[in-house]
């Protein structure tokens, strides 16, 4: 056993607190450690080169890097080990930044001692690590796209153009999704029907795309490269198997509850989508004044949307039930991103038809980003008026007669309350998760964020990847987006899916459950609790389907016969770590 | 059809586009004008709203780029000429001389230790010094030194101490010719120089700094090791103001940046929270016109900044900043919107959030490529709605902040980058 330890300064992140040279000297005294060094940044090209060199020079066969978190950096160091001819699973990471220098920045001495403890634990575990083989699977060159709005259709088309077979499913009878409900699209004022129809036409004619309308997802099993999907089609059921899945099932529009700004009580209070329809049908006429109210049901309150009774029994649903019960105010907490531009667009459309109509937009903040600012200015040049209201004093709506409403609002700039008489009051409401989002998330095993939308694998760095390998997210399933943004994310999701399908093969983590067949009594407890369906009882013994196993360890903890152990996280490896921490004297460490 | 792509710009957008294409099996040439890839994201301390250490989530992707068998890095290089059309562009790239042999240099840095010339370090926005032979930052990719000839005095010390014999002071510019199937433009952004607005006193008053300077001052790898201090006296500031829309949404004759920069409200809120973590008890005020904090998780983040961190948001665009000549404190004059009267507040440090601008030279690049720029110099998409990453030239695509109508945060840039990779794959497939 020849262990090498590499200790990272991480600039001053670690080095500014922990005495790294002292810790390095200490590491050299640990059993089996034949080499220890410290680097300014072990993750830099120089650091990785140093690992490579030391492996060769000192004939190392176990590597410990004491640095930051394995979540971001383990793949990199494993790759470095592999590059030097070692099995990547003989690598162990000790986190002396998040777990040590950052949280103990005011106690350098204590932090130095703790860093020694953490490294000692890692060394003892490293000594027991074994090489592992990552299972490799084939990736089918076909994809399932869920939802045929602009994002889904764009994704489908992009993959089809690259030669992949695409199944495009849509729960409605028609393609087009949310965009079909709009009239014009900002900032070019393109006709939405035209944009959608052009896309539909190309999608329909493409030989690589099979369109399945009035179709929903019934069951998804399998794993990256080999998903087995059961669809509910009008004729009954249909089974398909695909390599990747793109979720583009979109979102819904928040419908205000009856009474909110008198919606549902006075028929002259409408939502922006209803206005879109009136503009398209040209039924709005020449009103004297139209007032739009921004952030109705957005940027306030908490989520109160899911039909609690309809939720299936599952831990996620239980959690949601608890969260939802605690929430009071009506509305959604986030900013819906697109409403400001959308309202300005409709204001411009009204002004262009009926210049004499006074259009007033009541807003909190106008979030017209980047060059949409020009669009905002265009509206101002057309004399659309903007009144800033404050959240604490929402506008009040009173009926004058069947055709007129009075809107009383506190004008934050003028510092007084004003009353305006309007023909129409238009409420700008946010995009919200669809009601079946929870079901979908559960079926695909994708977590849901506190805003109710699907979670990305990483909010910053992997915006269109789901945390489940082989599944990608496009359009508004991850939160409000406008048409161009949905198109972009559709393309992006297709690119990410293509990187998998082009490679034809992927390898999975080797950390999986192993069953000792001599000890297994076939009780089936593991099969019952496994969230990934990776255990199956066959001939009275549990079998692990390795590619499904995510290495969570639930089965190993539950097994009454202790017949299940985890690769790379065996009891002996974990116990060695604990022993190194609690009884350093017994382990021979000084 | 050449099954290869040229990516111009090595920031996060260019890196993502390169990796996606390389993983699809295309040959990728990633051209970066400066000595290292990494771009703006490498300079940031943390990223909003997840508060990840920026370089920590970026560096693995930078290294993946440099190690990927399908990616060729051409750093310290510029695109000079593009001819031909989709599937077969003939591209000429000028590889500027580093005066260091990339193949021999190990990046040990002994040359820089011995170099006697010190100049302001661009990576730290001039807040620290670097040598005339230098590496922009420790995680730089590729890990090789570069001689800055403008400041080099030709003393030859670097050459003498270099054990790898990598210094080559006679190195000549090199022209690289490539045949390329498609091109992705991801040149990113520069910052507006706030000294163009004299009323804010930037460069006049030491304690008026830009958000990017603050980012370096907060960063643990920055010039102060993450200790926030005033540049006038090294004191820890207790009263800090952020001023939004410095050069953005500004139509004044000599500025003419009517657009919103789309990222400042978000990063200012993030920086305000980090300041609070660095200096507990500090009073932090953000002056803004509209709080434009769209995007996932951000309204919630601002709610937390207000409720948990006690950051105050003042809706007002300050008119003037005046320095107290003795204390070097800053008096910020603004209109109090609640009483509609002019008012002033005193701060220890004022942080200006400057507009983002197209990169210097973006106009020339547009000419070389034959693509359009808009009124502000950002690259213009073919159709802002249905072809948002395409340009009028078939086979040339745009992503990231350099494209006009799109926002500039990291997830949006990455999404656009992947989208351009998809477009390249599509056009090259046939």
**Domains of chain B: residue spans and CATH:** 4-96+173-188+359-429 (3.50.50.60), 192-355 (3.50.50.60)
Whether A260-430 and A513-567 share one fold: the answer is no
Q: Out of A46, A72, A463, whose CB is closest to B57? A: A72
Q: Out of A11, A68, A503, whose CB is closest to B23? A: A503
Would you say residue B262 has pLDDT above 70? Answer: yes
Q: Which of A172, A225, A236 is nearest to A200 (CA)?
A: A172
- Tell which CATH architecture fits domain A513-567: 2-Layer Sandwich (3.30)
CA distances from A481 to A337, A431, B426 (A): 7, 9, 24
Q: Out of A43, A45, A494, whose CB is closest to B107? A: A45
C-alpha to C-alpha distance for A375 and A346, rounded to whole angstroms: 12
Tokens representing A356 are 């004499």
- Output phi, psi for A470, to 5 deg: 90, -5
Residues of A in contact with B107 (CB under 8 A): 45-46
The CATH number of the domain covering residues in A3-132: 3.40.50
- Output phi, psi for B135, to 5 deg: -125, 130
With beta carbons less than 8 A apart as the criterion, state whether A339 and A295 touch.
yes
Residues of A in contact with B385 (CB under 8 A): 185, 187-188, 190, 195, 483-484, 487
Please name the residues in contact with B170: beta carbons below 8 A apart, sequence gap of 6 or more. Answer: none
Q: Which of A474, A465, A435 is nearest to A447 (CA)?
A: A465
Mutation for testing the B interface, residue in A151, A158, A488, A502 having most B CBs under 10 Å: A488
B141 touches chain A (CB under 8 A): yes
Q: Which of A242, A236, A235 is nearest to A220 (CA)?
A: A242
Q: Which residue of B has its CA nearest to A459?
A: B411
C-alpha to C-alpha distance for B403 and B389, rounded to whole angstroms: 8
pLDDT score recorded for residue B59: 92
Classify A21 as helix, strand or coil.
Answer: helix
C-alpha to C-alpha distance for A456 and A467, rounded to whole angstroms: 6
Please name the residues in contact with A16: beta carbons below 8 A apart, sequence gap of 6 or more. Answer: A101, A105, B220, B225, B226
Q: Out of B142, B374, B415, whose CB is closest to A371? A: B374
CATH of the domain spanning A138-251+433-506, picked from 3.90.1150.10, 3.40.50.970, 3.40.605.10, 3.50.50.60: 3.50.50.60
Domain assignments of chain A as residue spans, ordered by start:
3-132, 138-251+433-506, 260-430, 513-567
Give me the DSSP letters along B33-78. SSSSS-TGGGG-SEETTTTEEHHHHHHHHHHHHHH-TTEEEE-SEE
Element (H, E) at B214: helix B211-218
**What is the C-alpha end-to-end distance of chain B, expressed in Å?**
8
pLDDT score recorded for residue A316: 53
Q: CATH homologous superfamily for A260-430?
A: FAD/NAD(P)-binding domain (3.50.50.60)
The residue whose two tokens read 């091109």 is: B183
C-alpha to C-alpha distance for A98 and A68, rounded to whole angstroms: 6
Q: Which residue of B has its CA nearest to A372?
A: B405
Do residue A334 and residue B389 have CB atoms under 8 angstroms apart?
Answer: no
Q: Out of A162, A374, A478, whose CB is closest to B425? A: A162
CA distances from B179 to A297, B1, B83, B86 (A): 54, 10, 10, 11
pLDDT tens digit at each of 590 positions of chain A? 999 999 999 888 899 999 999 999 999 999 999 999 999 889 888 899 999 999 999 999 999 999 999 988 999 999 999 999 999 999 999 999 999 998 998 899 999 999 999 999 999 999 999 999 998 889 999 999 999 999 999 999 999 999 999 999 999 999 999 999 999 999 899 999 999 999 999 999 999 999 999 999 999 988 899 999 999 999 999 999 999 999 999 999 999 988 889 999 999 999 999 999 999 999 998 999 999 999 998 887 533 334 445 545 555 555 555 555 544 446 788 999 999 999 999 999 999 999 999 999 999 899 999 889 999 999 999 999 999 987 767 788 999 999 999 999 988 888 788 999 999 999 999 999 999 999 999 999 899 998 999 999 999 999 999 999 999 999 999 999 999 999 999 999 999 999 999 988 988 889 999 999 999 999 999 999 998 889 999 999 999 988 888 899 999 999 999 999 999 999 999 999 999 999 776 655 54
Do residue B426 and residue A158 have CB atoms under 8 angstroms apart?
Answer: yes
C-alpha to C-alpha distance for A497 and A227, rounded to whole angstroms: 13
CA distance B324 to chain A (A): 31
- Output phi, psi for B73, to 5 deg: -90, 130
CA distances from B225 to A13, A42, B135, B229, B281 (A): 8, 18, 18, 11, 21
Task: Write out pLDDT tens, residues B213-250.
Answer: 999 999 988 999 889 999 999 999 999 999 999 999 99
Q: Which of A170, A338, A194 is nearest to A248 (CA)?
A: A170
Do residue A299 and residue B299 have CB atoms under 8 angstroms apart?
Answer: yes
Q: Which of B207, B201, B202 is nearest to B236 (CA)?
A: B207
Do residue A12 and residue B220 have CB atoms under 8 angstroms apart?
Answer: yes
ipTM for the whole complex: 0.96
Strands (E), A321-434: 358-363, 385-388, 396-399, 405-411, 416-422, 424-427, 431-433
Q: Identify the sign of the CA torsion B12, A457, B389, B52.
A: negative
C-alpha to C-alpha distance for B198 and A406, rounded to whole angstroms: 46
CA distance B305 to chain A (A): 14
């Amino acid at each position: 056993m020849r262990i090498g330890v590499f200790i990272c300064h991480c600039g001053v992140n670690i080095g500014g607190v922990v005495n790294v040279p002292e810790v390095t000297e200490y590491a050299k005294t640990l059993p089996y450690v034949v080499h220890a060094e410290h680097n300014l940044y072990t993750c830099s090209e120089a650091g990785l080169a140093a690992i490579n060199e030391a492996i060769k020079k000192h004939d190392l066969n176990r590597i410990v890097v004491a640095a930051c978190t394995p979540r971001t950096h383990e793949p990199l160091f494993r790759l470095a080990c592999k590059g030097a001819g070692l099995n990547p699973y003989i690598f162990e990471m000790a986190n002396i930044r998040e777990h040590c220098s950052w949280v103990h920045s005011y106690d350098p001495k204590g932090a130095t001692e703790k860093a020694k403890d953490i490294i000692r634990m890692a060394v003892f575990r490293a000594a027991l690590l074994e090489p592992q083989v990552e299972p490799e699977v084939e990736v089918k060159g076909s994809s399932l796209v869920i939802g045929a709005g602009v994002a889904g259709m764009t994704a489908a088309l992009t993959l089809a153009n690259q030669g992949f077979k695409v199944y495009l499913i849509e729960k409605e009878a028609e393609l087009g999704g949310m965009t079909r409900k709009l009239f014009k699209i900002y900032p070019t004022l393109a006709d939405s029907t035209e944009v959608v129809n052009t896309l539909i036409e190309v999608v329909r004619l493409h030989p690589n795309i099979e369109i399945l309308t009035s179709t929903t997802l019934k069951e998804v099993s399998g794993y990256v490269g080999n998903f087995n999907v059961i669809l509910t089609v009008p004729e009954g059921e249909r089974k398909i198997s695909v390599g990747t899945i793109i979720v583009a099932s979109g979102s819904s529009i928040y419908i205000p509850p009856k009474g909110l700004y008198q919606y549902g009580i006075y028929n002259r209070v409408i939502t922006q989508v209803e206005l879109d329809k009136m503009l398209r049908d040209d039924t709005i006429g020449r009103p004297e004044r139209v007032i739009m109210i921004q952030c109705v049901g957005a940027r306030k309150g908490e989520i109160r949307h899911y039909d609690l009774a309809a939720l299936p029994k599952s831990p996620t649903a239980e959690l949601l039930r608890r969260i939802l019960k605690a929430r009071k105010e009506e509305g959604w907490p986030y900013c819906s991103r697109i409403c400001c531009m959308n309202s300005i667009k409709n204001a411009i459309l009204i002004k262009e038809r009926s210049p004499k109509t006074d259009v007033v937009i009541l807003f909190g903040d106008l979030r017209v980003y980047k060059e949409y600012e020009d669009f905002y200015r265009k509206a101002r040049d057309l004399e659309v008026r903007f009144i800033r209201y404050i959240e604490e004093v929402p506008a009040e709506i009173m009926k004058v007669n069947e055709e007129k409403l009075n809107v009383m609002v506190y004008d934050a700039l003028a510092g007084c309350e004003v009353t305006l008489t309007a023909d129409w009051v238009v409420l700008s409401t946010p995009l919200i998760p669809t009601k079946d989002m929870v079901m979908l998330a559960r079926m695909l095993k994708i977590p849901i964020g506190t805003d109710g939308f699907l979670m990305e694998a990483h909010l910053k760095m992997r915006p269109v990847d789901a945390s489940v390998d082989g599944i990608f997210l496009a359009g508004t399933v991850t939160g409000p987006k406008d048409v161009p943004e949905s198109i972009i994310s559709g393309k992006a999701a297709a690119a990410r899916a293509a990187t998998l399908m082009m490679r034809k093969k992927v390898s999975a983590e080797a950390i999986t459950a192993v069953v000792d067949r001599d000890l297994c009594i076939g009780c089936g407890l593991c099969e019952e609790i496994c969230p990934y369906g990776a255990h199956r009882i066959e001939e009275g013994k549990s079998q692990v389907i390795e590619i499904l196993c995510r290495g969570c360890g639930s089965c190993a903890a539950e097994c009454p016969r202790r017949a299940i152990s985890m690769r790379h996280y065996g009891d002996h490896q974990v116990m060695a770590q604990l022993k190194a921490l609690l009884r350093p004297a017994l382990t021979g460490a000084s | 059809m050449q099954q290869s792509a040229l990516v111009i710009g090595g920031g996060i957008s260019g890196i993502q586009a390169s990796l996606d294409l390389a993983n699809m099996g295309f040959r990728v040439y990633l051209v970066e004008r400066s000595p290292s890839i990494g771009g703006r994201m490498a300079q940031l301390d943390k990223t909003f709203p997840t508060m990840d250490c920026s370089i920590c989530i970026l560096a693995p992707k930078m290294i993946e780029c440099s190690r990927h068998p399908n990616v060729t890095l051409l750093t310290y290089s510029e695109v000079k000429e593009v001819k031909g059309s989709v599937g077969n562009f003939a591209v000429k790239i000028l590889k500027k001389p580093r005066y260091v042999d990339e193949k021999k240099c190990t990046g040990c840095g002994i040359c820089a230790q011995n170099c006697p010339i010190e100049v302001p370090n661009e990576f730290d926005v001039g807040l620290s010094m670097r040598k005339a032979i230098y590496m922009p930052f420790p995680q730089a990719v590729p890990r090789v030194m570069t001689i800055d000839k403008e400041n080099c005095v030709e003393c030859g010390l670097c050459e003498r101490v270099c054990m790898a014999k990598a210094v080559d002071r006679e190195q000549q510019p090199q022209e690289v010719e490539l045949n390329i199937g498609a091109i992705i433009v991801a040149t990113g952004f520069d910052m507006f120089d706030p000294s163009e607005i004299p009323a804010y006193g930037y460069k006049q008053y030491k304690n008026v700094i830009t958000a990017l300077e603050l980012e370096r001052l907060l960063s643990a790898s920055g010039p102060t090791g993450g200790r926030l201090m005033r540049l006038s006296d090294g004191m820890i500031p207790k009263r800090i103001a952020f001023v939004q829309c410095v050069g953005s949404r500004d139509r004044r004759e000599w500025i003419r940046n009517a657009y919103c920069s789309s990222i400042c409200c978000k990063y200012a809120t993030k920086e305000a929270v980090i300041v609070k973590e660095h200096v507990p008890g500090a009073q932090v005020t953000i002056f803004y016109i509209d709080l434009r904090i769209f995007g996932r998780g951000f309204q919630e983040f601002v709610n937390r900044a207000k409720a948990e961190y006690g950051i105050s948001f003042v809706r007002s665009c300050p008119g003037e900043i005046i320095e107290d000549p003795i204390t070097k404190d800053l008096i910020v004059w603004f209109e109090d919107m609640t009483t509609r009267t002019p008012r002033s507040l005193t701060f220890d440090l004022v942080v200006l959030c400057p507009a983002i601008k197209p990169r210097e030279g973006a106009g020339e690049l547009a000419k070389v490529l034959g693509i359009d720029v808009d009124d502000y110099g950002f690259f213009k998409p073919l159709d802002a709605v249905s072809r948002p990453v395409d340009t009028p030239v078939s086979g040339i695509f745009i992503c990231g902040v350099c494209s006009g109508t799109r926002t500039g945060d990291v997830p949006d840039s990455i999404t656009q980058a992947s989208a351009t990779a998809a477009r390249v794959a599509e056009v090259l497939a046939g």
